[in-house]
């Protein structure tokens, strides 16, 4: 997992440089970090095969960054990074995680108050030492305290998107063992929850001792909490824990049901069993001593008189009642998405050209891709103005002509979801269509930062809030409503603005937003980015009930991020969304009808 380690270092270097007021370089390091974080191939492999030149061929990696990667692979250190840390000895990664604190503020806090880490910061906030500092003030101080408390609440949990690649790697390794007869992910990973406490594997094996030996000696295991013949538990280098349980073949279904959870779901299910004079445990469903069901999950749910419930819905939020009545919705599947409409390109500083994004989209099996670069208000994101949008239109038109004539190359197929569903077959280039959109900014008064005449010329328009998150509730609601009423705005991106583990939703009257979305035919986005997943499950259910259409987008700033779609789909499943609720399950022809 050198990719992740390097990404983390490059993010920190970027922060250190920004702290020093260095121009451009922070941007370059951040870009390299994003690329490495999402790169499918291991950077060690890239280097082993092609040396420094191959490193430079990675998008966003220039000569100087390639040298640093090489240095790290050879020595395990980067001197440039060590020097930066020595110069300003602060835990910058920890501090900038606090919402409202950027590298520049870290510098002031360090210089004036000697703050080095989160603990120091918390102490200073509580002693009201922050507010008097130049550029801070009482409101900032209060925001910092809120930020710290928010961080504390989510401590110890990991973003699903952060750990799933590693988890899948372990899954494949275990699966390939000849001693492993069957393996499944259980727990919150199988339920695809947005954050994960620990990872749970369930295995059938006739040789548990061999499986456990293998498990505790996996590369990246830094600590063994316990090792037995039925259960072992380890800590990984990334900081999260993994449990493995070897269970008996004949009661695999009941074990899988039990260890998938959630705990709340299990408690409610067990109550139903009891009401029927039955007893349910991880060993099976019993009437007295007689075993009724245990081999598969399906058997168990059936014996309890209910439909099998998809893991993403097992939160005791009404799914049991629905399953008892045979009325579970048929939730959207991992293969139902036909395209992604929120992708950034090199035009606004994203990692890849439009062509590269298309190639990746075709590998995903998509029929269409929407380019939605940032617009001019976001200067740090190189937002496009009306002129640039017109230029981009020409390029996209040309690409579409080319697309009609070409075919794309075959590739390995990704497996999606904790159920590891293989992705749909890829499509050929012919018939593939690129749409031009943009992700505009909703300004303070609800107006859009691009003129209507320019918006009209686009295939679709996304609008989102990227500034002033702390507006008062009625004002914020009005701000979004005004944007939805714009005749050209089709989609609201990341509608509630939350960043998991970092900041709460902004204050909005969501029912009112839903009403206006319905009236105006505005589509709400389910943003698949692992730290956003916005809308959340509850809001997805509310949108569905209000019959507001949604779209699952990735917000990719790099071609490898198109794979994040699985998190968005999982979130939609957690919110009970059906295919009809999500517009990008539709063919291009039908999709276009949803736009204003």
Q: Does 279 bind ligand DGT (CB under 6 A)?
A: no
Who contacts 562 (Cβ-Cβ below 8 Å, separation ≥6)? Answer: 340, 343, 357, 360, 361, 364, 554, 556
From the list Ca ion, ligand DGT, none, partner contacted by residue 522 (C-beta under 5 to 8 A by kind): none
Q: CA-CA distances (angstroms) from residue 510 to 25, 238, 485, 505, 506?
A: 40, 36, 16, 11, 10
Q: Does 194 bind Ca ion (CB under 5 A)?
A: no
Residue 528, both tokens: 């698949």
DSSP assignments along 304-371, one per residue: TTS----GGG-SSSSHHHHHHTT----BPPTT---EEEEE--GGGT-SS-HHHHHHHHHHTT-SEEEE
Choice from 17, 196, 471, 569 touching ligand DGT (CB under 6 A): 196
From the list Ca ion, ligand DGT, none, partner contacted by residue 261 (C-beta under 5 to 8 A by kind): ligand DGT
Give the residue with the Cβ less far from ligand DGT, 251 or 266.
266
454 in Cβ contact with 489 (< 8 Å): no
Count of C-beta atoms within a 10 Å radius of residue 413: 14
Q: Does 525 bind ligand DGT (CB under 6 A)?
A: no
Q: Does 267 bind ligand DGT (CB under 6 A)?
A: yes
Q: Closest distance between ligand DGT and the C-beta of residue 235, in Å? A: 14
From the list Ca ion, ligand DGT, none, partner contacted by residue 262 (C-beta under 5 to 8 A by kind): ligand DGT
- From residue 139 to residue 158, the character string flagging contacts with Ca ion as x (rule: CB under 5 A) and all else as - is --------------------
Q: Does 200 bind Ca ion (CB under 5 A)?
A: yes
Give the residue with the Cβ less far from ligand DGT, 389 or 418.
418
Residue 240, both tokens: 């999260």
Give the residue with the Cβ less far from ligand DGT, 195 or 441.
195
Give the residue with the Cβ less far from ligand DGT, 112 or 227.
227
Q: Please give the residue whose beta carbon sits closest to ligand DGT in the complex.
A: 261
Footprint (CB under 6 A) of ligand DGT, residues 355-384: none
Q: Does 184 bind Ca ion (CB under 5 A)?
A: no
- The one segment of 181-189, 316-324, 450-458, 557-565 that binds Ca ion by CB under 5 A: 181-189
Q: Does 259 bind ligand DGT (CB under 6 A)?
A: yes
569 in Cβ contact with 424 (< 8 Å): no
Choice from 165, 197, 329, 365 touching ligand DGT (CB under 6 A): 197
Q: Does 266 bind ligand DGT (CB under 6 A)?
A: yes
Q: CA-CA distances (angstroms) from residue 238 to 3, 40, 157, 235, 493?
A: 12, 18, 12, 8, 31
Q: Give the separation between CA 238 and CA 222, rounded to whole angstroms.
A: 9
Q: Does 202 bind ligand DGT (CB under 6 A)?
A: no
From the list Ca ion, ligand DGT, none, partner contacted by residue 267 (C-beta under 5 to 8 A by kind): ligand DGT
Q: Residue ranges of the alpha helices (H) in 39-159? A: 43-56, 63-75, 79-87, 92-96, 103-113, 118-126, 137-153
Q: Does 243 bind Ca ion (CB under 5 A)?
A: yes
Q: Does 187 bind Ca ion (CB under 5 A)?
A: yes
Q: Does 29 bind ligand DGT (CB under 6 A)?
A: no
Q: Does 312 bind ligand DGT (CB under 6 A)?
A: no
157 in Cβ contact with 193 (< 8 Å): no
Q: Residue ranges of the alpha helices (H) in 218-328? A: 252-260, 263-275, 297-303, 319-324
- From residue 382 to residue 411, the character string flagging contacts with Ca ion as x (rule: CB under 5 A) and all else as - is ------------------------------
From the list ligand DGT, Ca ion, none, partner contacted by residue 182 (C-beta under 5 to 8 A by kind): none
Residue 357, both tokens: 């994004």
Q: Does 198 bind Ca ion (CB under 5 A)?
A: yes
Give the residue with the Cβ less far from ligand DGT, 154 or 468.
154
- The one segment of 235-243, 248-256, 358-366, 587-595 that binds Ca ion by CB under 5 A: 235-243
Q: Does 315 bind Ca ion (CB under 5 A)?
A: no
In angstroms, what is the C-alpha Rg of the chain? 25
Cα 280–chain centre separation: 35
Choice from 59, 60, 261, 464 touching ligand DGT (CB under 6 A): 261
Give the residue with the Cβ less far from ligand DGT, 188 or 205.
188
Q: Give the separation between CA 210 and CA 204, rounded to whole angstroms.
A: 12
209 in Cβ contact with 229 (< 8 Å): yes
Q: Does 200 bind ligand DGT (CB under 6 A)?
A: yes
Q: Which long-range contacts (CB under 8 A, 24 or more apart) does 114-120 make?
A: 115/90, 116/89, 116/90, 116/91, 117/90, 117/91, 118/91, 118/94, 118/148, 118/151
Give CA torsion, residues 501, 506, 511, 513, to 10 deg: -120
Q: Closest distance between ligand DGT and the C-beta of residue 261, in Å? A: 2
- The one segment of 188-196, 329-337, 504-512, 554-562 that binds Ca ion by CB under 5 A: 188-196
Q: Does 531 bind Ca ion (CB under 5 A)?
A: no
> Using CB under 6 A as the criterion, which residues of the chain lie in contact with ligand DGT when the complex forms?
187-188, 196-198, 200, 258-259, 261-263, 266-267
Applying CB under 5 A, the residues found at the interface with Ca ion are 187-188, 198, 200, 243
């Amino acid at each position: 997992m050198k990719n992740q380690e390097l990404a983390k270092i490059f993010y920190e270097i970027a922060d250190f440089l920004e702290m020093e007021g260095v121009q451009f370089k922070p941007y370059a390091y951040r870009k390299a970090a994003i690329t490495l974080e999402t790169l499918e191939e291991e950077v060690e492999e890239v280097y082993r095969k092609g040396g420094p030149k191959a490193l430079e061929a990675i998008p966003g990696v220039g000569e100087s960054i390639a040298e640093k990667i090489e240095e790290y692979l050879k020595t395990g250190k980067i001197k440039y990074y060590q020097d930066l840390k020595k110069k300003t000895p602060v835990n910058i990664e920890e501090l900038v995680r606090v919402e409202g604190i950027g590298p520049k503020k870290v510098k002031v806090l360090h210089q004036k108050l000697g703050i080095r880490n989160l603990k120091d910061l918390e102490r200073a906030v509580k002693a009201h030492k922050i507010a008097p500092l130049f550029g801070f003030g009482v409101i900032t101080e209060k925001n910092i305290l809120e930020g710290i408390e928010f961080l504390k609440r989510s401590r110890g949990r990991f973003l699903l998107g952060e750990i799933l690649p590693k988890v899948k790697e372990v899954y494949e390794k275990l699966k390939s063992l000849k001693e492993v007869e069957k393996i499944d992910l259980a727990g919150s990973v199988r339920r695809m929850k947005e954050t994960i406490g620990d990872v749970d594997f369930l295995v059938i094996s006739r040789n548990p001792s061999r499986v456990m030996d293998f498990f505790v000696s996996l590369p990246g295991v830094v600590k063994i909490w316990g090792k037995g013949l039925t259960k072992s538990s380890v800590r990984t280098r990334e900081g999260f824990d993994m449990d493995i349980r070897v269970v008996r073949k004949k009661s695999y279904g009941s074990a899988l049901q039990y260890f998938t959870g959630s705990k709340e779901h299990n408690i409610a299910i067990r109550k139903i069993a009891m009401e029927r004079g039955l007893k349910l445990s991880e060993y099976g469903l019993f009437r007295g001593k007689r075993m009724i069901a245990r081999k598969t999950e399906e058997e168990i749910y059936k014996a309890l008189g209910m439909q099998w419930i998809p893991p993403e819905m097992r939160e005791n939020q009404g799914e049991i009642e629905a399953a008892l009545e045979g009325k579970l919705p048929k939730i959207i599947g991992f293969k139902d998405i036909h395209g992604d409409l929120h992708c950034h390109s090199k035009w606004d500083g994203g990692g890849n050209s439009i062509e590269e994004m298309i190639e990746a989209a075709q590998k995903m099996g998509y029929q269409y891709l929407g380019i939605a670069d940032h617009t001019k208000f976001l200067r740090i994101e190189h937002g496009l103005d009306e002129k640039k949008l017109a230029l981009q239109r020409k390029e996209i038109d040309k690409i579409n002509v080319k697309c009609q004539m070409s075919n794309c190359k075959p590739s390995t197929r990704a497996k999606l979801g904790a159920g590891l569903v293989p992705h749909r077959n890829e499509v050929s280039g012919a018939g593939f269509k690129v749409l031009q959109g943009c992700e505009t900014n909703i300004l303070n008064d609800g107006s859009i930062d691009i003129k209507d005449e320019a918006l009209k010329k686009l295939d679709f328009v996304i609008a989102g809030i990227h500034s002033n998150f702390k507006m008062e509730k009625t004002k914020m609601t009005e701000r979004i409503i005004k944007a939805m009423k714009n005749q050209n705005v089709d989609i609201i991106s990341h509608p509630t603005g939350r960043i998991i583990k970092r900041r709460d939703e902004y204050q909005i009257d969501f029912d009112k937003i839903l009403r206006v979305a319905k009236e105006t035919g505005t589509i709400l986005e389910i943003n698949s980015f692992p730290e956003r997943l916005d809308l959340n499950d509850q809001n997805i259910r509310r949108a569905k009930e209000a019959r507001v259409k949604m779209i699952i987008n990735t917000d990719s700033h790099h071609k490898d991020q198109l794979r994040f779609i699985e998190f968005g789909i999982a979130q939609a499943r957690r919110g009970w969304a059906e295919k009809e609720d999500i517009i990008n399950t539709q063919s291009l022809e039908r999709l276009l009808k949803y736009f204003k």
